[in-house]
């Protein structure tokens, strides 16, 4: 099913999020390397799917209301035989209750490096793509970088280089360097989603798991739907002629002028005078008197003729 159709179906059902399986289907269409998986309706189907994928497998509860499966105890890892799958399916069904709409079966992938990628909508800047350390380190270390959509491959590559922990992208403790192409495709794909699917307000891919051979796989994902906030009304452009007086003044008044060396009221006046300004320069200070041989006016109202003042 195409992304737009999946989203229309979800919104027609009153949902504000796609299921994990639906989210991955959308992401796959945008070049994100998602994990292969099967959806089962019963424990027997779950066992058959696991045997087809090959043990060990991961089993997850699937449902439109099950967006935080780990917190609800609906994820079972490293299931090595049909009996383990059948027991896990029964336990997940019991825990999820009426919220369960299916059982998701995935291969059990290994990897010590995890990254996160995502998309959110900023009221001022529009779609923003995010990349950083994933898993439990996402919030703990806050090592993330951002780019405003649209992104091309060059911009996506720059995001990888800006990560503080970018050494994890290279060879790591006997494991091969991360294949950068899938990461770049993922970030560019998120940018496209932000521009092409206006009903998508947020995407969370966590983790992007890296195998010892450097392969990148999105093993979990969530797409949030909603109405994006309207863009802020930009300020109207200003006619350069309306502010020309600030850059080409006929005269200048320094309010708060000072005769004390080092103070801004002295330094600004001296810089302008020494810079060859050809118009009249007026000094203003409630104490009056003179500074550098120039009369100091006690208020702007005492300055003769038109003037522009800077405070």
Instruction: Give the pLDDT confidence of 133-183 residue by residue, as tens digits.
Output: 987 666 667 899 999 999 999 999 999 999 998 999 999 889 999 999 999
Residue 43 pLDDT > 90: yes
Number of domains in the chain: 3
Q: What is the 8-class DSSP label of residue 174? A: T
pLDDT at position 78: 96
Joined tokens for residue 301: 């109202």
Q: How high is the pLDDT of residue 138? A: 65
Last residue of a domain, one of 51, 78, 108: 108
Q: In the listed set 78, 108, 138, which residue is the last one of a domain according to the structure? A: 108
Same domain, residue pair 209 and 100 = no
Tell me: do 146 and 30 sit in the same domain. yes
Boundary (domain end) residue, out of 108, 132, 149: 108
CATH of the domain at 298: 3.40.50.720
Mean per-residue pLDDT over the chain, rounded? 92
**Same domain flag for 61 and 77:** yes
The answer on 267 and 125 residing in a single domain is no
- Average pLDDT of 252-280? 90
Verify that 217 and 198 share a domain, yes or no: yes
Q: Are residues 157 and 208 in the same domain?
A: yes
- Model pLDDT, residue 16: 94
Residues 103, 118 within the same domain: no
CB atoms under 10 Å from CB of 37, counted, come to 19
Q: Are 95 and 114 members of one domain?
A: no
What's the per-residue H, E or C state across 229-277?
CCCCCCCCCCCHHHCHHHHCCCCEEEECCCCCCCCHHHHHHHHHHHCCC
Q: Give tens-digit pLDDT for 224-241.
A: 999 887 767 777 888 888
| Dihedral (CA of 18, 20, 21, 25) sign | positive
Is the same domain home to 216 and 261? no
Rounded to the nearest 5 percent, the helix, strand and coil shares of the chain are 35, 25, 40
Statement to judge: residues 14 and 134 lie in one domain? yes
| Residue percentage of the chain with pLDDT more than 70 | 95
Judgement on whether residues 102 and 117 belong to the same structural domain of the protein: no
Query: Do 137 and 219 have their domain in common?
Result: yes
**Residue 101, domain extent:** 36-108
* Cα–Cα distance, 109 to 42 (Å, whole number): 23
- Band of pLDDT at residue 29, cut at 50, 70 and 90: very high
Q: What's the pTM?
A: 0.74
Question: Looking at residue 229, which CATH number applies to its domain?
Answer: 3.30.470.20
**Torsional sign, CA 227, 228, 233, 237:** negative
CATH number of the domain that residue 43 is part of: 3.30.1490.20
Q: What is the mean pLDDT of residues 189-199?
A: 96
């Amino acid at each position: 099913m195409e992304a737009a159709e999946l989203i229309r179906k979800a919104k027609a059902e009153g949902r504000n999020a796609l299921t994990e399986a639906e989210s991955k289907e959308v992401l796959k269409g945008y070049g994100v390397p998602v994990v292969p998986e099967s959806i089962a309706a019963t424990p027997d189907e779950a066992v058959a799917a696991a045997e087809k994928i090959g043990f060990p497998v991961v089993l997850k509860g699937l449902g439109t209301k099950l967006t935080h499966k780990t917190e609800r105890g609906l994820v079972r890892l490293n299931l090595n035989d049909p009996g383990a799958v059948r027991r896990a399916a029964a336990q997940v069904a019991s825990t999820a209750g009426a919220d369960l709409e299916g059982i998701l079966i995935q291969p059990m992938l290994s990897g010590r490096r995890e990254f996160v990628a995502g998309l959110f909508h900023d009221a001022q800047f529009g779609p923003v793509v995010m990349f950083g350390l994933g898993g439990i380190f996402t919030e703990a270390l806050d090592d993330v970088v951002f780019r405003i959509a649209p992104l091309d491959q060059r911009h996506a590559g720059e995001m990888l280089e800006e990560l503080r922990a970018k050494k994890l992208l290279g060879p790591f403790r006997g494991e091969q360097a991360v294949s950068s192409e899938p990461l770049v495709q993922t970030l560019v794909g998120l940018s496209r989603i932000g521009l092409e699917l206006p009903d998508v307000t947020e995407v969370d891919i966590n983790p992007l798991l890296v195998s010892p051979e450097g392969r990148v796989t999105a093993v979990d994902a969530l797409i949030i739907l909603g109405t994006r906030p309207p863009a802020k009304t930009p300020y109207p452009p200003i006619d350069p002629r309306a502010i020309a007086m600030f850059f080409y003044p006929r005269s200048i008044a320094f309010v708060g002028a000072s005769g004390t060396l080092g103070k801004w009221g002295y330094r600004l006046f001296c810089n302008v005078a020494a810079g060859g300004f050809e118009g009249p320069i007026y000094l203003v200070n409630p104490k009056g008197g003179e500074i550098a041989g120039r009369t100091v006016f006690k208020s702007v109202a005492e300055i003769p003729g038109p003037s522009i003042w800077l405070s």
